[in-house]
Amino acid sequence: MSKKNSKSSTKTSKKKAAALKDRQGSAVTAKASPAPIGSAQQEAPPPIEGPARAMVIMAHPDDAEFLCAGTIAKWCAEGWDVSYVVVTGGDKGTHDDAMHPEKLAAIREEEQRAACRVLGVKECILLGYPDGFTSESQELRGQITRLLRLHKPDVVITWDGFRGAFNHRDHRNVGVATMDAIYPIVRDRLFYQHHEEEGLGSHQVNEVLLAGAAEPDYAVDITEYWEKKVDAILCHTSQVGGRTREDFVRERAERDKREPGKPVEERFRRWSIRRPQTRPQQEQAPAEAAKPPETLARAKPQRG
Ligand SMILES: [Zn+2]
């Protein structure tokens, strides 16, 4: 990405934000400034603003709470419509010698639903795959595509399935299946055409935030929602190893002492599917603006 001086970059992003807003006609709006927190890119798109519809697609009960519950709490407080899709039952996540998978899945489902209530998530859908046994399959892509067509989210948060570092196979498979569903499957009606029999049309997601990313480029300030995040994490009693609210509060106090005034953030890798083209300042013709998301299409092989 080429560097420009900050003055012309500010002008550029203002024009782009206006153009983006005109073209989108969506519940997701874009402000020209400030630039996304933590972004090193001069050409970074403007922050994601709502209220809008969001879908959080994760592998296990508790993934969302640890990765992005502050962002979810913020969005719900701002009137966003947020739904969860949890692909597995999390039925292997225990060190208890007496625990059985079915019992653990039932416990974890209740914990997940409790966390959703704390955050204000409207719907929590569990697909019930066995923990550790997901594959990046046609079946999973189809299920995710159907839920995207049903709920029509503007923004999706999922795992970064493309990161090179060590990761759980369910995290990787869910992240990749979700991205493949988002582009181009959910948009093109001839994929999983039987969805039309249910009255589900094609849909386009505008923004994707990849959680657990090795190279995050977008941050959400969750300082105000940190306590809510802790409340949601603590709903996962079977997974927090006996940690209490006091433990979280003490760790936060130590951090604040070390880094006074620093906001608490959740960080993501962001893909803006209708991101404006990074070239000189002519307004694009509508037909051109509606071209496929080349940034997204190109990005996957590079990062895989
Ligand atoms: Zn997980």
* pLDDT value of residue 165: 87
User: How far, in Å, is the centroid of ligand 1 from the Cα of 101?
Assistant: 16
Amino acid type, 29: T
pLDDT value of residue 28: 58
pLDDT at 274: 73
**32 CA to centre of ligand 1 in angstroms:** 35
- pLDDT number for residue 273: 86
What is the CATH topology of the domain spanning 48-303? Rossmann fold (3.40.50)
Please tell me the distance between residue 240's alpha carbon and the centre of ligand 1 in angstroms: 13
Task: Tell me how far the alpha carbon of residue 170 lies from the centroid of ligand 1, in angstroms.
Answer: 7
Q: Are 114 and 85 in contact (CB under 8 A)?
A: no
With beta carbons less than 8 A apart as the criterion, state whether 148 and 186 touch.
yes
The C-alpha atoms of residue 148 and residue 55 are separated, in whole angstroms, by 8
- State whether the Cα torsion 37-39-45-51 is positive or negative: negative
Distance from residue 207's CA to the centre of ligand 1 (Å) = 22
Separation of CA 64 and ligand 1 centre (Å): 9
Q: Which pLDDT belongs to residue 303?
A: 34
What integer pLDDT is reported at residue 291 of this predicted model?
44
Return the HEC string of 237-304: HHHCCCCCHHHHHHHHHHHHHHCCCCCCEEEEEEEECCCCCCCCCCCCCHHHHCCCCHHHHHHHHHHC
Distance, CA of 98 to CA of 26 (rounded, Å)? 50
Q: What are the pLDDT digits (tens) for 130-167?
A: 999 999 999 999 999 999 999 999 999 999 999 988 89
pLDDT tens, position by position, for the chain (304 residues)? 443 344 444 444 444 444 433 333 344 544 444 444 444 445 678 999 999 999 999 999 999 999 999 999 999 999 999 999 999 999 999 999 999 999 999 999 999 999 999 999 999 999 999 999 999 999 999 999 999 999 999 999 999 999 988 899 999 999 999 999 999 999 999 999 999 999 999 999 999 999 999 999 999 999 999 999 999 999 999 999 999 999 999 999 999 999 999 999 999 999 998 755 555 554 444 444 444 444 443 333 333 2
> Which pLDDT value is given to residue 279?
54
Per-residue confidence (pLDDT) for residue 214, from 0 to 100: 92
Q: How far is it, in rounded angstroms, from Cα 297 to Cα 304?
A: 12
